[in-house]
A and B are shown apart, each in its own frame.
Chain A
Amino acid sequence: MLRTLIHNSVLRRIAAAALTLVGVAIFVFIMLRAIPGNQITAGLGTEAAALTPAQRLALEQYYGLDQPLFVQFFSWLGNLLTGNLGFSSRAQESVLELTLQSLPVTFELALLSIVLAIAIGIPLGMLSASKPDSPRDAFGQVVGLAGLSIPAFLLATTLMSVLASSFGYNPNGQTFAPLFENPLLNLQQMLLPALVLGFGIAAPIMRTTRTAVLEIRANDFIRTARAKGVPERRLKVKHVLGNALVPIVTMTGLQFGYLLGGAVVVEQVFSIPGIGRQVLLGIQQKEYALVQSTVLVIALTFVIVNLLTDLAYRLIDPRVRAE
């Protein structure tokens, strides 16, 4: 019984995920403290030099920095287990509250970006693969290369600057509109950042699609299908693309996981109050609890996305199901 449980791949995966999260927790805790400075110097800057020892102690007590490191670690961990992610003294709100506000924003941005990336990447990849080494292949490759090589911040600032200075258009200069309060403005504000992120991700999707399609097409069963008189269109979509989807799904799932970690630069440039910006602010202000808990939340979503990607394989690829 126990043996079957241990061999149960789902349980094994959950155990691995839990271990990963513990590892992330320890790692982030140590790394944060390895960064010079603490919340006091981050807030006061060089003014911290003027603090008397008693003043410094009062501040350390306020931020809980007077406790030994392992006490800090275990009290944070203990709080986590009760659902208390900590408190941000800067925002004067609980980290849980902040995360519940910022995570959906990033999720929406990631989803939009992936949709755009797929909409650009897969057709482009199929176009390239349809006639290798032709001008249309070269076109697909060049667009893909551009997506890979143009840094997101450059594309973002350029787009924003051109639209604002030439057309006076900049929805991101307004207060951020949550999706359910003002969907129209929200979509306007999300469009450019999603386009920037989607363009960057379209490139690997395009390349994966191209390679996968070329590989599948070289298979015997395609030749057989064609010989049996399957129409070319149906062949392309059902047989070739259907089989090429496995690597594409893997790639897309991975990219989606990364996006949920927060596209820090893009969120920064477009003032999107997502989880990436939350981590960045936390690091700048040395808000330990904020950064630790947010990174853990990001790790958790990444793990979940990976699990879901695995499940998706099973749906697409009967061979994996049979394993």
Chain B
Amino acid sequence: MASGSRFTRGTVTTLGIAAAVSLILSGCSSAGSTPPDSDSGAAGGSLVIGVTTDPDTLFPWKATQFQAVNVLQNLYGTLTEFDEELNVVPGLAESWDASEDGLTVTLKLREGVTFSDGSTFGSEDVKASLEKIQDEATAAVSRTSLASVTAIEAPDESTVVLTLSAPDAALPANLAVINMAMLSSEDTEEALNTAPNGTGPFTFDSRVANQSVTLTKNAEYWGEEALLDSVEFRVIPDESSIVSAMQSGNVHMAFFDDPLVAQTAEGGNISIAETPQLGYHALQLNATRGDLADVNVRLAIQCAIDRQEVLDTAALGEGEVTGPITSPAYKSDPSSRPCAERDLDKAQSYLEKAGKADGLTIKTIVSQGGYATSVNEAQNLKSQLAEAGITLELETLESGAYVDRWVAGDFDAAVALNGGRPDPDGMYGRYFTSTGNLNKVAGYNSPELDALFAEGKSSSDPKERAAVYEKISDHLEENAAWIWLFTSYSYTASADTVKGFVPMSNGSLQYLRTTSVN
């Protein structure tokens, strides 16, 4: 997923009461889910997707907002891609090989690829794109993913050679996000803001500000041609209005985060598919602040929380208790932590060790309106911790104010929903290494973690890497760097006429290329 936190997803607040009312009115509330029909249908059709906001930018290197990423993903190509299981697979690069010392990576580019303006894609475009992403003046959000790249050469039309300062096993996965889209070397940001020019399965057709973005099939796409003739992202700001637009057949597909809204949509000819998300809910603890600097205090907090209870009360039980790493290939075992189950006695003994037997107070920031469950999570955490003598002093902030404080690392604790990534280094390297650019926000680092992260990047053997990231996961839990709570689902609502769409746990809509509507 492109964004580091799901805060950048659509932030239009849903009117909870309205949703509840329409739930009662529509009378369909079965909580189960049926996976969408994944048989590919016949070609053709115009798909309408209901979205709450339109893209905030059409320039892929700066796009972090969920809607923007979803649109741009279908317009632009990346060197590598993810498949359904989030394995890294070839994209615009057919193959990539690392030298034995891991310091040189040679990419072989696909031939015969064209941009939607008709110009040919080649190694010069890759070199220009990567160099511009590295340039700070571009303000590209994925710049740090190229931190290990010291030189980019294009010896011939279909070969690109990257020279690295240190081995970087996370690089192929990092190249797969839309913030690493390959642009034509002749394009400028200004031009692309209004006229996207990519190599993706769809081309940009039109946009009406705040109303809709329409894409049409790219007949020159290098891969299998998309089935749909067109896709329209139609802006309907209110989620319950999207639901009624689906019920009346005007909109074929929509994506919801809020289980309550998803429930209201289900029924009739609309089915809902649940997809576990890489994003995770956590209580972030800032170990550079006061009492939280003491590992015993943090462990006491870990032991005083029943995660299933947080999930049940705040998110209707819709999700799974999680450890730090959420991607399927490296998944952490949530029972591998000092207090896998809630244990108030143990919490008390940790507090005694910390000399805080009489309890303590932690100031916690909570976002209002960023995502549906934040305030409920905070209140449940507060009541659970109160039983252990720990007072969570909640500071509920409007999401803009929350982001400001979060970005500045100005909090003792934060109730957070952070975005996950398929590669565990991309996911946590920037948070928990002492030089990571989000380390101030994470509030925790250690020499052991620095060494482990370096080790994880230096090996390209999946098994070896998995063992390293298990150690990282254990280290984070044993030191209670944060309290990992649960992962939730995203809900794909689609009409029965929609076939062939595969929802992904990074929220990607790349399978629109295999979707049809009839």
Contact = CB atoms under 8 A, between A and B. Distances in A.
Interface string B123-140: 000000000000011111
Contacts of B56: 43, 90, 285
Contact of B139 (A35, A59, A91): A59
B4 interface: yes
Contacts of B241: 157, 160, 172-173, 269-271
Nearest to B370: A45
A90 B240 contact: no
B393 to A, nearest CB: 19
B236 A271 contact: yes
A175 B50 CA distance: 11
B400 A168 contact: no
Contacts of A44: 8, 62, 64, 141
Contacts, number: 190
Contacts of B212: 175
A169 B247 CA distance: 9
A41 B400 contact: yes
A170 B250 contact: yes
B401 A36 contact: yes
Contacts of A43: 8, 56-57, 62, 64-65
B139 to A, nearest CB: 4
Contacts of A55: 136-137, 139-140, 143
A45 B8 contact: yes
Contacts of A320: none
Interface string A151-182: 00110011011111100111011111000000
A227 interface: no
B214 to A, nearest CB: 10
Nearest to A176: B211
A10 interface: no
A273 interface: yes
Contact of B210 (A47, A56, A91, A158): A91
B438 interface: yes
Contact of B22 (A35, A90, A161, A284): A161
A52 B437 contact: yes
Contacts of B102: none
Interface string A35-68: 1110001111111111110111011001000000
A173 B247 CA distance: 9
Contacts of A270: 241
B251 interface: yes
B399 to A, nearest CB: 8
B12 interface: yes
B209 A92 contact: yes
Nearest to A269: B238
B209 A88 contact: yes
B92 to A, nearest CB: 24
A48 B400 CA distance: 12
Interface stretch (B13-21, B93-101, B154-162, B163-171): B13-21
Contacts of A174: 250
Contacts of B3: 45-47
Given A88-B209, A91-B209, A164-B248, A48 B403 contact: yes
B249 interface: yes
B391 interface: no
Interface string B392-434: 0000011011011011010000000010000000000010000
A277 interface: yes
A98 interface: yes
Contacts of A62: 139
Contact of A50 (B12, B141, B397): B141
Given A46-B407, A277-B210, A170 B8 contact: no
Contacts of B136: 52, 54-55, 58
A268 interface: yes
The 3 closest A-B pairs by CB, nearest first: A173-B245, A45-B8, A173-B250
8 contacts: A42-B400, A50-B437, A55-B136, A55-B137, A157-B240, A164-B248, A170-B245, A173-B246
Interface of A: 35-37, 41-52, 54-56, 58-59, 62, 88-93, 98, 153-154, 157-158, 160-165, 168-170, 172-176, 268-271, 273, 277-278, 281, 284-286
